[in-house]
A and B are shown apart, each in its own frame.
Chain A
Amino acid sequence: MALDYEESKQKIIEGLKKKLKTKSKFYFNDLSKILGAKPREAKKIVNRMVEEGLLEYWSSGSTSMYGLPGTGKQAAAEHED
Chain B
Amino acid sequence: MAKHETPMLDQLESGPWPSFVSDLKALAEKRAKNEEGIEFQIPTDVVDDILGVLELSYKHGRTHWKHGGIVGVFGYGGGVIGRYCDQPEMFPGVAHFHTMRVNQPGGKFYTTDYLRKLCDLWDFRGSGVLNMHGSTGDIIFLGTTTPQLEEIFYELTHNLHQDLGGSGSNLRTPSDCVGQARCEFACYDTQDLCYDLTQEYQDELHRPAFPYKFKFKFDGCPNCCVASIARSDLSFIGTWKDDIKIDQEAVQAYIGGELKPNAGAHSGRDWGPFDIQKEVIDLCPTDCMWMEGKELKIDNKECTRCMHCINVMPRALRIGDDRGITILAGAKAPILDGAQMGTLIVPFIKAEPPYTEIKENVIEPIWDWWMEEGKNRERLGELMKRQGLQKMIEILGVEPDPRMVQEPRSNPYIFWKEEEVPGGWKRDIKEFRKYHQR
A66 to chain B, nearest CB (A): 9
Given that A29-B211, A43-B207, A63-B212 are contacting pairs, would A74 and B169 also be in contact in the complex, using a CB cutoff of 8 Å? no
Q: Which of B40-48, B62-70, B119-127, B231-239 contacts A (4 or more CB under 8 A)?
A: B62-70
Question: Which residues 350-382 of B have a CB within 8 angstroms of A?
Answer: 368, 371-372, 376-377
A39 and B70: CB pair below 8 A?
no
B84 to chain A, nearest CB (A): 5
B212 and A59: CB pair below 8 A?
no
Given that A50-B77, A78-B82 are contacting pairs, would A60 and B68 also be in contact in the complex, using a CB cutoff of 8 Å? yes
B275 to chain A, nearest CB (A): 49
In the bound assembly, the distance between CA atoms of A42 and B168 in angstroms comes to 18
Question: Which residues 25-81 of A have a CB within 8 angstroms of B?
Answer: 27-29, 38-40, 42-43, 46-47, 50-51, 56-64, 67, 74-75, 78, 80
B residues near A62, Cβ cutoff 8 Å: 167-168, 212-213
Given that A64-B77, A78-B69 are contacting pairs, would A43 and B168 also be in contact in the complex, using a CB cutoff of 8 Å? no
Type the 1/0 row for B370-399, where 1 means its CB is closer than 8 Å to any CB of A.
Answer: 011000110000000000000000000000
In the bound assembly, the distance between CA atoms of A75 and B75 in angstroms comes to 18
Residues of chain A at interface, number, CB under 8 A:
26
Q: Does B324 have its Cβ within 8 Å of any Cβ on chain A?
A: no
In the bound assembly, the distance between CA atoms of A24 and B70 in angstroms comes to 12
Type the 1/0 row for B196-221, where 1 means its CB is closer than 8 Å to any CB of A.
Answer: 00000001000111111100000000
The 4 A-B residue pairs with the shortest CB-CB distance, nearest first, are A64-B168, A60-B68, A64-B208, A39-B371
B146 and A80: CB pair below 8 A?
yes
In the bound assembly, the distance between CA atoms of A59 and B209 in angstroms comes to 12
A residues near B203, Cβ cutoff 8 Å: 43, 47
Complex A-B: 15 CB contacts under 8 Å: A29-B211, A57-B72, A59-B69, A59-B72, A59-B78, A59-B82, A59-B168, A59-B208, A60-B67, A61-B99, A63-B212, A64-B168, A64-B170, A74-B70, A80-B70
B336 to chain A, nearest CB (A): 11
Q: Does B81 have its Cβ within 8 Å of any Cβ on chain A?
A: yes
Complex: chain B residue closest to A67, CB-CB: B70
Q: Does B71 have its Cβ within 8 Å of any Cβ on chain A?
A: yes
B213 and A75: CB pair below 8 A?
no
Known pairs A57-B72, A64-B78, A64-B208; list 20 more (Cβ under 8 Å).
Answer: A28-B169, A28-B209, A28-B211, A39-B209, A39-B368, A40-B371, A43-B207, A43-B209, A47-B207, A57-B70, A57-B77, A58-B68, A59-B69, A59-B77, A59-B81, A59-B167, A61-B81, A62-B212, A63-B376, A67-B70
Question: Which residues 155-211 of B have a CB within 8 angstroms of A?
Answer: 167-170, 203, 207-211
B residues near A46, Cβ cutoff 8 Å: 209
A61 and B68: CB pair below 8 A?
yes
A46 to chain B, nearest CB (A): 7
In the bound assembly, the distance between CA atoms of A62 and B334 in angstroms comes to 11
Among B67, B70, B372, residue most surrounded by chain A Cβ atoms (within 10 Å): B70
B residues near A74, Cβ cutoff 8 Å: 69-70
B residues near A80, Cβ cutoff 8 Å: 69-71, 82, 146
Complex: chain B residue closest to A27, CB-CB: B376
B residues near A78, Cβ cutoff 8 Å: 66, 69-70, 82, 84, 96
In the bound assembly, the distance between CA atoms of A67 and B70 in angstroms comes to 9
A residues near B211, Cβ cutoff 8 Å: 27-29
In the bound assembly, the distance between CA atoms of A38 and B371 in angstroms comes to 9
In the bound assembly, the distance between CA atoms of A47 and B70 in angstroms comes to 16
In the bound assembly, the distance between CA atoms of A46 and B39 in angstroms comes to 39
